[in-house]
């Protein structure tokens, strides 16, 4: 098992890509501190994964609250002695009412919500966890960017694209800072992925619109959360020990 004995922190662990990543790591032996704002999702995770090789330690906190994040990391490090792996999965475009709005349609409040949700939460967890990883001389961090951050999504807002572009730049910069400390920092840039959050928006689209979206993808389908989680798991594993500073496009060939 790739993650036997590892201690991982995964944000937004109760659904979507975060949940799919939690499933893989727990089944392969990790103890996952599953950060999730919805207690019902935590309860469901704990029940569903109770018989697996690893374990779920569910923590119901607001990943956007600095005080809660810092208190959580202090408690986790006290309980387990270290944190080996961090997955920053908090993010998404549907935190605002109109995810595809143009910049002239966007309020400053919308801009701030999207930047904070998609960039600031990643900062908070990196800022709190990296000191312990430096002390240990090892660690792996994977964050969720998006192809929107590469300017490849017409339907995403400029704020979402700016935040995800920030994740790509942050990943590269942290890899330079932390490589000498034995810490790998990478990201993935998903294309449209049918998570629980996005499925209602997908289902509202016409059959023609769905078909046109699929036609753009060389593999002729839309991504699942498991597609993304599999690449995250690779980046967290020892197979990626010599990989850092990279953002992998997980898009079915869309470019």
Res. 3 pLDDT band, cuts 50 70 90? very high
Q: What is the pLDDT of residue 152?
A: 76
pLDDT for 141-157, tens place per residue? Answer: 999 999 999 987 777 89
Strands (E), the chain: 7-11, 31-36, 55-60, 85-88, 139-144, 183-190, 247-250
Over the stretch 226-245, which tens digit does the pLDDT of each residue have?
999 999 999 999 999 999 99
The domains of the chain, with CATH numbers, are 7-250 (3.40.50.720)
Q: Let me know: does 186 contact 245? Beta carbons within 8 Å.
A: yes
State whether the Cα torsion 215-166-16-233 is positive or negative: positive
**Catalytic residue status for 80:** no
Q: What is the pLDDT of residue 198?
A: 74
CA pseudo-torsion sign 175, 66, 103, 95: positive
Give the confidence band of 188 by pLDDT, cuts at 50, 70, 90.
Answer: very high
Short-list 117, 228, 125, CA closest to 185? 125
d(CA 72, CA 39): 16
Cβ within 8 Å of residue 211, ≥6 positions away: none
Instruction: Name the packing angle between helices 108-115 and 158-178 (round to 10°).
Output: 30
What pLDDT is stored for residue 250 in this prediction? 97
User: What pLDDT is stored for residue 93 in this prediction?
Assistant: 84
Distance CA 195, CA 138 (A): 31
What's the chain's Rg over C-alpha atoms? 18
The reported pLDDT for the residue numbered 196 is 80
The confidence score (pLDDT) of residue 101 equals 85
Mean pLDDT over the full length of the chain: 95
Measured CA to CA in angstroms, residue 27 lies from 51, 96, 230 at distances of: 9, 34, 13
List of residues 6+ apart from 119 with CB closer than 8 A: 163, 166, 167, 170
Element (H, E) at 83: none
| Cβ-based neighbour number of residue 146 at 10 Å | 30
Question: With 80 as the cut, is the pLDDT of residue 195 above it?
Answer: yes
Q: In angstroms, rounded to a whole number, what is the distance separating the alpha carbons of residues 83 and 237?
A: 14
Give CA–CA dist 67/181, Å, rounded: 26
For the stretch 60-108, pLDDT in tens is 999 999 999 999 999 999 999 999 999 999 998 877 788 788 999 999 9
Q: Which residue has the higher pLDDT, 208 or 144?
A: 144
Give the CA distances from residue 226 to residues 15, 20, 54, 196, in Å, rounded to whole numbers and listed in that order. 11, 6, 18, 12
What is the percent of the chain where pLDDT is above 70?
100
- Please state, in angstroms and rounded to a whole number, the distance separating the CA atoms of residues 165 and 148: 7
Mean pLDDT of 21-31: 99
Residue % of the chain over a pLDDT of 90: 83
Catalytic residue among 86, 160, 185, 247: 160
CB atoms within 10 A of CB 62: 12
- Whole-prediction pTM value? 0.94
**pLDDT score recorded for residue 218:** 93
């Amino acid at each position: 098992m790739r993650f036997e004995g590892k201690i991982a922190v995964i944000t937004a662990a109760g659904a979507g890509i975060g949940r799919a990543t939690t499933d893989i790591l727990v089944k392969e032996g990790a103890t996952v501190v599953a950060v999730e704002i919805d207690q019902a999702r935590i309860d469901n995770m704990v029940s569903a994964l109770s018989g697996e090789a690893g374990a779920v330690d569910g923590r119901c906190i607001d990943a956007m609250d600095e005080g809660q994040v810092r208190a959580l990391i202090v408690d986790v490090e006290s309980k387990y002695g270290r944190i080996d792996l961090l997955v920053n999965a908090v993010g998404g475009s549907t935190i605002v009412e109109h995810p595809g709005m143009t910049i002239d349609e966007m309020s400053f409040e919308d801009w701030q919500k999207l930047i904070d949700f998609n960039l600031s939460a990643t900062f908070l967890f990196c800022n709190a966890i990296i000191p312990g990883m430096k002390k240990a001389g090892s660690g792996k961090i994977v964050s969720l960017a998006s192809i929107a951050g590469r300017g490849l999504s017409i339907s995403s807002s400029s704020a979402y694209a700016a935040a995800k572009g920030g994740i790509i730049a942050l990943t590269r910069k942290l890899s330079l800072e932390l490589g000498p400390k034995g810490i790998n920092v990478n990201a993935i840039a998903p294309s449209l992925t049918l998570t629980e959050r996005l499925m209602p928006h997908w289902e509202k689209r016409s059959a023609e619109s769905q078909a046109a979206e699929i036609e753009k993808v060389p593999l002729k389908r839309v991504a699942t959360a498991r597609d993304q989680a599999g690449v995250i798991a690779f980046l967290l594993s020892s197979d990626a020990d010599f990989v850092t500073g990279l953002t992998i496009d997980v898009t079915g060939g869309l470019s």
